Structure 1
């Protein structure tokens, strides 16, 4: 991104809000809080982070939002309500993408539905292919758990809240696994989890009853989940 010298606007992210209107589905706010319609239906950039269950105050009182951070021609934060179809279709699409795919630019689009509904679709800007998601059984989906899983995946890519694991070039696979399990032991102890709690989570999340059965990717995912719980349990 080119850095322009001299006077200009305050360098802060531009919030984008999702709302269906007659001829647009999202908008920005001017400095005097007036809505500025965005008539384009697509925004292409690179994800730099995501906040789920973000608590905000609005004219109707406290609310929970999803903030998707995207770096394009400038930093954007696309904000939508936790329980909206936009947020749910966004989470389904992001969950379907691999960690490698999430490192690349993608195009996020708004699509109007019935009534006040707005859907989200994600496209590969090179192949123009959309991320196929299914709404089958969406009423049974644990959306909070899905949001946490997507957040862990995206924020791990951005190295947020990561602590370095000391592994040398001569470390064997079994030693790496031992290091990862030892790290998870530390977090489990800090969370006061019982062995049964741990086994129940592993069975539900990975279909396994022991950390020794997890792949390196799964144990890292488990560690990220434990770290998230510690962060959420810390007093502010």
Structure 2
């Protein structure tokens, strides 16, 4: 290994340490550390939303178009929604609090997200990324754009021939490597 590589590796570790120290919870009253689900679809008149925790579970639209966060985990899960089983993409992230971004596995949002995460390196995924929701002309379609630390758009094209199982496995493996875990999906 070259000296430059060792210095870069040391700087990455120091940055991770700084990031952890800055995430220290304050004493006193505050929000629950439980992750808040963000639903990434246009079904509620916006681009993404969360459900209120006041017992009514009413949709609360998120007025911002982007979320800057650190990716922690990616899961593809079968869940029950509206009385039926469906597959969802769930991206666990840390921002001002823990969030889980959820979208239908076959949605354009998930495909854009998975494609970008599969293209990124584990080193890029150790730093913050920005996820931007982007409405299509159709009322139902939602895309996402992913920006690496520093604002560089991650170009990750896909089409009808894309092998989504392979893309999802690469995305999970990249995130697991970024988190220092062996990926079982690889």
Q: Provide the TM-score with structure 1 as the length reference.
A: 0.63
Asked if 1:44 corresponds to 2:54, the answer is: no
From 136, 149, 155, the counterpart of 1:132: 155
Matched position secondary structure for 1:55: strand
Deviations 1:25-77 (A, max 9, x none): 0001112211110010100011111102x111111400110111111111111
In structure 2, what is the Cα distance between the partners aligned to 1:13 and 1:139? 33
Alpha-carbon contact 2:125-2:174 (below 8 Å) kept: no
Relative to its length, the structure with more helix (as a share) is 1
* Displacement over 3 Å in runs of 4+: none
Residue 209 of structure 1: aligned partner: none
Question: What is the CA RMSD across the aligned residues, in angstroms?
Answer: 1.9
Matched position secondary structure for 1:141: coil
Alpha-carbon contact 1:30-1:36 (below 8 Å) kept: yes
Specify every segment of 5 or more residues in structure 2 that has no aligned partner in the other structure, as ranges: 1-22
Q: Rate the CA distance shift 1:157–1:124 in 2: closer, same or farther, 3 A.
A: closer
Residue 117 of structure 1: aligned partner: 141
In structure 1, what is the Cα distance between the partners aligned to 2:129 and 2:26? 25
Relative to its length, the structure with more strand (as a share) is 2
From 73, 89, 106, the counterpart of 1:83: 106
Asked if 1:146 corresponds to 2:167, the answer is: yes
Alpha-carbon contact 1:23-1:39 (below 8 Å) kept: no
Higher relative contact order (CA 8 A, sep 6+): 2
Alpha-carbon contact 2:46-2:61 (below 8 Å) kept: yes
Q: Rate the CA distance shift 1:23–1:56 in 2: closer, same or farther, 3 A.
A: closer
Q: Cα offset for 1:142? A: 1.4
Asked if 1:9 corresponds to 2:42, the answer is: no
Q: Provide the TM-score with structure 2 as the length reference.
A: 0.79
